[in-house]
Amino acid sequence: MKSTKHNEDELSATERIILMLLYSSRGKVRGKLWFQKEMFELSKAFEELREELDFNAYSYGPFSEALDEYRDMLENSGLIENLKLTREGLSIAQRIWEQSSDREKKIVKKIADFLESLDDDELLLYIYVTSPGMAEKSEIREKILRRRVQIALKMLRKGKVSLGLAAKLADLPLNEIRKKAIEAGIKPFDIEGDVEDKN
């Protein structure tokens, strides 16, 4: 059996980021939909992920077959189970986190914190609006976009997005989303820290 240290040295860039993602999300992610979309967002920030994962438009937006294979490899190595870190996985993930740059940690945490806070409709609306090319084959794109104003206002009410991002998600001018927010009893204010602000 390989030693933990040996396993750690053999991990690919993608496997490292997967473990960092799980570690920053208190050891697990909400489900496969979130896992695919969070890794897609991370692939925008990390070039090595883009090359290794090759996301394509699919039924629910961006999807990577390669990502499923990496997940299977980590499960077979005993580091994760059902998108949750095992005891050994947690130990390795913690070491990888501690050895990673501040930039890597900041990006992973920001994306994980934001996307993990979203329900499935909010998650898909965010992805479809910010990466429209990845929504082309989505089976539920029209259903989500028909409700975009309602979903954006819900996100604004919960303080998950800024007024500017809510306007973008709703496809409305800033003054129009502000008006709708006030009509809905939402105090329109800006929140720092949208994933949109990361660059």
Cβ-count burial of 126 within 10 angstroms (0-12 exposed, 13-18 middle, 19+ buried)? buried
The tens digit of pLDDT for each residue in 8-56 reads 778 999 999 999 999 999 999 999 999 999 999 999 999 999 989 999 9
**CA 174 – CA 188 distance, rounded (Å):** 10
Answer yes or no: is 70 within a domain: yes
What are the φ and ψ backbone dihedral angles of 28, each rounded to 5 degrees?
Answer: -160, 160
The pLDDT assigned to 156 comes to 95
Number of domain units in the chain: 1
Host domain of residue 82: 4-116
The tens digit of pLDDT for each residue in 67-86 reads 999 999 999 999 999 999 99
The pLDDT assigned to 192 comes to 43
The model's confidence at residue 139, banded by pLDDT at 50, 70 and 90, is: confident
The pLDDT assigned to 190 comes to 47
Once rounded to an integer, what is the mean pLDDT over residues 120-131? Answer: 97
Answer yes or no: is 196 within a domain: no
Answer yes or no: is 79 within a domain: yes
What's the chain's length in residues?
Answer: 199
For the record, the structure tokens of 82 come out as 């059902």
Percent of the chain having pLDDT more than 70? 90
The pLDDT assigned to 188 comes to 61
**135-170 b/e (C-beta count within 10 Å ≥ 16 → b):** beebeebeebbeebbebbbbbbeeebbbbebbbbbb
**CA 96 – CA 90 distance, rounded (Å):** 10
Q: Does the pLDDT at position 90 exceed 70?
A: yes
Helix 102-116 / helix 32-45 crossing angle, nearest 10 deg? 140
Answer yes or no: is 75 within a domain: yes
Answer yes or no: is 87 within a domain: yes
Answer yes or no: is 132 within a domain: no
Compute the mean pLDDT over every residue in the chain, rounded to the nearest whole number. 90
**CA 188 – CA 199 distance, rounded (Å):** 24
Answer yes or no: is 126 within a domain: no
Greater model confidence, 26 or 192: 26
Answer yes or no: is 189 within a domain: no
**CA 144 – CA 128 distance, rounded (Å):** 9
The pLDDT assigned to 41 comes to 97
**CA 12 – CA 24 distance, rounded (Å):** 18
